[in-house]
Structure 1
Amino acid sequence: MASPHDDLEPAGYAELLTDLKARVRATQFHAARAANTEVLRLYWSIGHDILERQRTAGWGSKVVDRLASDLQREFPDQRGWSRRNLLYMRTFALTWPDAGFVQQPVAQLPWGHVTVLLSRLKTTDDRDWYAERSAVEGWSRGMLEYHIKLDLRRALGAAPTDFAGALDAADSELAQAMVKDPYVFEHLGLVRTRAEREVEQALMDRLQDTMLELGRGMAFVGRQVRLTVPDDESDAVDEFFVDLLFFHVEQLRYVVVELKVGKFEPAHLGQLGTYVAIVDDQYRRHEIHAPTVGILLCTGRSGAVVRYSLASTNAPVAVADLQGLPDEARGALPSVAELQAVVADELEQRS
């Protein structure tokens, strides 16, 4: 006869179940990563062998066609044996000629990501840089293509700033690495009117996309954040409103973002500098917080005017172009259906 206590959860059961779930998921993750590394080892070895025989035995390109046909016949249930894929394997081995590539970030990426690096980029240095960013930030294949199309590597740290003079050396380098030029928001291409509030609304409507473009580590604090400054000579209070306020969780600093539609004017930096000073005074309450910085995003600027304006301000601020993704660039991005097909292919290859 069953005990009335059989259905009761024994002491410690919930903790054990939670631990087992975590261990199973961790094992699944490590198994998937190990399987992915073995696939890359295989593809690298095939590419390496093709290269060696072309160098030493004078094999021509038609041999690759024959290999593709024979491998497809031998392994009809497996994908990946097309002529194009074999040529990717050859380029893979040519780009990373040492089998020790498994210790590099590229070894952490699925093969679909690797083919993007090989087809979209020309130098090993660029391929290594985007491989590392993709591995660290967990980019999808579509996101990797997006960042390559927008030339993220050249954009990062490119915004003109006065950080070197307004911050200490170590903090200046951190802040500079946080900004880029231009900021390209795909969703702004859909905004018909160019009023600042319309742009601001578009950025808020797709806040996640906005934060991805602003960079890793940004946490949203508020929109049209009200700042108050008491008048020392009366009971009046001056009010200011920050367009967008963020907190960088890795650098532990507030980031004031102001939007300006139209040509850059020196007065814009005066306004932004005031907001940065107020936020720094009223929000930066802990010693571990780094100094507040400001980013002015505008739709038109002159390099010379920006340089002179930055030289005349003491607040740590940056100026960058604000752009919507051009139609031709948007057309080059993979569609939802294409992304779904890529995911299905990668799942099938791993199964």
Structure 2
Amino acid sequence: MQKAFPEMKGFSLRNLKYMRAFAEAYPDEQLVQQAVALIAWGHNVRILDTVKDQTERLWYVQQTIQHGWSRNVLVHQIESKLYQRQGKATTNFNRTLPQPQSQLAQQLLKDPYTFDFLNLGEDFLEGDLKRALIDHIRDFLLELGVGFGYLGSQYHLEVGGEDFYIDLLFYHARLHCYIVIDLKIEEFKPEYSGKMNFYVSAVDDLLRQPDDQPTIGMILCKSKNKVIAEYSLCDIYT
């Protein structure tokens, strides 16, 4: 090969083994040309090393192309098992959001979210979590996903002459809507959905513009009972 392609480099024993593995993993030449060949060789090597399922491999390839992930970001997403978490959040989007907004919103949310980058101890408070997320906003936005624009922490709203403060407020570029995030360090409780419904309604009334889609609320808890969460959300339509 070196004689046939004297201008090319990279024919080490290690790379030759990866080339063979690549050929075995992607026997469809059209698939290679239209997808896999569009990402860097180093990205392909990381995917071959760590992802064994073909469908999952192609998902990471497509996400890398779509979002322009660097190699380090790709490795982080694989190690955090993004493929298994994406689109798994308990929501009521099928009843509260129009199509295709509801389907796209569902695909963007995860369960669980991982905040290992915070390095918080065992006995931290909600205030500690909020401050740590703001201090690590770049990592937090990476975990949330592409399209989230940060608007503020403890975002002030005045409703009925009283002051209220949203933990975190974002605007999503692809969904074209505000996203309210409420942080809890406890297991999900039914009353959390009522509070979130209030925040979503207030943002829709006070901030939402005619071209914006309906506001989305996200409650990030330590854990949840799926049945309780579904019951809490089943009759909320705003």
**Does 2:194 match 1:264?**
no
5+ residue gaps in structure 1? 1-70, 231-236, 316-351
Which residue of the other structure, out of 228, 231, 237, is the alignment partner of 1:308? 231
Secondary structure of 1:261's match?
coil
**SS state at 2:22 partner:** helix
User: How far 1:259 sits from its partner (Å)?
Assistant: 0.1
| Secondary structure in 1 matching 2:186 | strand
Cα 1:300–1:98 change in 2 (3 A) is closer
Q: Is the 8 A contact 2:89 2:112 kept in 1?
A: yes
Q: Hey, what's the Cα distance between the residues in 2 that align with 1:113 and 1:172? A: 31
Matched residue, 1:251: 175
Deviation at 1:222, TM superposition (A): 0.9
- Out of 144-153 and 267-276, give the one that drifted further: 144-153
Percent identity, please. 38
The answer to whether the 8 A contact 1:72-1:82 is kept is: no
Q: Does 1:198 align with 2:128?
A: yes
* Pairing partner for 1:94 from 12, 20, 24: 24
- Residue pair 2:157, 2:165 contacting (<8 A) in 1 also: yes
Give the distance between the partners of 1:247 and 1:253, measured in 2 at CA.
6
Rounded to whole Å, the distance in 2 between the matches of 1:263 and 1:200 is 17
Q: Which has more radius of gyration?
A: 1
What is the CA–CA distance in structure 2 between the aligned matches of 1:260 and 1:190, rounded to whole Å? Answer: 15
Distance 2:29 2:50 in 1: 23
Structure 1 residue 102, shift from structure 2 partner: 4.5
Aligned residue for 2:52? 122
Q: Write the deviation string for residues 181-226 of structure 1: whole angstroms up to 9, x where unpaired.
A: 1111232234564211110101100111111111101111111011
1:262-299 per-position Cα deviation (integer Å, ceiling 9, x unaligned): 1211111111111011001111122x210001000011
* Aligned equivalent of 1:298: 221
Bigger helix share: 1
Letter in 1 for 2:177: R
**Match status 1:274 vs 2:194:** no
- Moved >6 Å (runs of 4+): 71-75
Secondary structure in 1 matching 2:87: coil
Using the size of structure 1 for normalisation, the TM-score is: 0.63
Structure 2 CA distance for aligned equivalents of residues 118 and 240 of structure 1:
49
User: How far apart are residue 131 of structure 1 and its match?
Assistant: 0.7
> Offset of 1:307 from its aligned partner?
1.4
CA RMSD of aligned residues (A): 2.3
Task: Give the distance between the partners of 2:40 and 2:94, measured in 1 at CA.
Answer: 39
| 2:174 aligned counterpart, secondary structure | coil
